[in-house]
Chain A
Amino acid sequence: MLPKTTVLFVIAILAVAAFPALAVHMDSQLTGDLGVLDLATDVTFDGSIWTYTYQLTFTTAVGSNYVHSFAVDNIGQYLFTNASNTGNFTNPTYDPNAWSVDWILGTMTPGQTVTFSYQSQHAPDVITVWATVGDSGAYASGLTLGMGAEIPEPGTILALSGMFAAAAGLWRRRR
């Protein structure tokens, strides 16, 4: 019989290996002749679906440029749902022929922050994807997180839940 601490450690390692991340955060900047925008990206998993959230702040404008569009790569053309934003942009709906998730026809002024989001079965990829904003012949771009190829299987999720439950049980007994 293995010691409980060893069992707990093994469960933790297996859990991390089986499911590397339930929440991922990334800070980046979009830069270009449009200006500078800070982008804080959060991807969270609630057990059934991933929620991608992009908090975009128009930090520095060049000239009188505004932001009228925001696009995030979707090179895999993966399905997404429930796109929304806290500004006045038109939300995208899934188009199997589109290569990006595009919020358009809105206006962001310097100093303003707008949060864009969507949901997907696809987990965030290890590699980063591009995000671009545009206006008046100018643009700014940078890296962020986007949908990857992996869709966590129910079995994986079940295993993960079982591991956490077992760990919690063992921890409680030990205490």
Chain B
Amino acid sequence: MKIVSSIVVFLLAASVVGAVSMHTDLAPGTPPLPAPGTTIPLDASAVFDTGSGLWTYTYVIDPSNALLPITGFSVANVNHYVFYDATNNKNFVNPTWENFPSSVYWMGGSAPQNGGLIIFSFTSPLGPTVVNCTLHGGTKVAVGETLGMIPEPMSLLAIGTLLTGGAVALRRRKNK
């Protein structure tokens, strides 16, 4: 049991330090964007580059189940954490922190349901946590949780806690 615990703890610690991924099935909002009985899959990742000291957040959305073309995607940034270099592979307007610090919000696009995967990304010095997100198709929405920014001290605290837990588990195992 302790072996499993320590492996899990180390894996979590490694994931927090270097790369994290998360799958979400975006659920219907009000009014609903997904077709009845379906969800919209979202795969998010956050990868840390030691050279630049930045995390790259990437969101891959399959819009096949949407009732309408996708017009916007927003990721919670309620504490106005800094982000850079927002991009997308369609025709959305990329957000900038200087203009819209309250939101990582790609707007003004029109990505058809059968037009393939939609990819959004940005970079930030802040590590990942789980935040809310909303996918817009006109007035219709799909909602869920995905990866978003957390203040660096919180990341360090999370990493520190995980590493400490791993070390304690390992030490106990060796002492036994």
Contact = CB atoms under 8 A, between A and B. Distances in A.
A166 interface: no
Contacts of B173: none
A130 B78 contact: no
A117 interface: no
Interface in B8-54: 29-31
Contacts of A131: 139
Contacts of A136: 74-78, 102-105
B164 interface: no
Given A68-B107, A69-B72, A134-B136, A139 B79 contact: no
Interface in A54-70: 63-66, 68-69
A72 interface: yes
B148 A137 contact: yes
B80 A64 contact: yes
Interface residues of A, number: 33
Contacts of A134: 72, 74, 105, 134, 136, 141
Contacts, number: 111
Contacts of A139: 29, 134, 136, 141, 143
A71 B109 CA distance: 13
A135 B69 contact: no
B102 A104 contact: no
Interface string A9-45: 0000000000000000000000011000000000000
B140 A104 contact: no
A69 B132 contact: no
A137 B132 contact: yes
A130 B74 contact: no
Given A135-B74, A136-B103, A141-B31, A105 B108 contact: yes
A136 B108 CA distance: 15
Contact of B139 (A90, A130, A138): A130
Closest CB pairs A-B (n = 5)? A137-B76, A100-B138, A137-B132, A136-B103, A130-B139
Interface in A132-167: 132, 134-139, 141
Nearest to A33: B132
B71 A64 contact: no
A130 B33 CA distance: 12
Nearest to B29: A139
A143 B152 CA distance: 41
B79 A73 contact: no
A99 interface: yes
Nearest to B131: A137
B81 to A, nearest CB: 11
B31 A105 contact: no
Interface in A68-123: 68-69, 71-74, 90, 95, 97-100, 102, 104-105, 107
A143 B103 CA distance: 25
Nearest to B100: A68
A65 to B, nearest CB: 7
Interface string B124-146: 00000001111011111101000
B141 A137 contact: no
A8 interface: no
Contacts of B80: 64
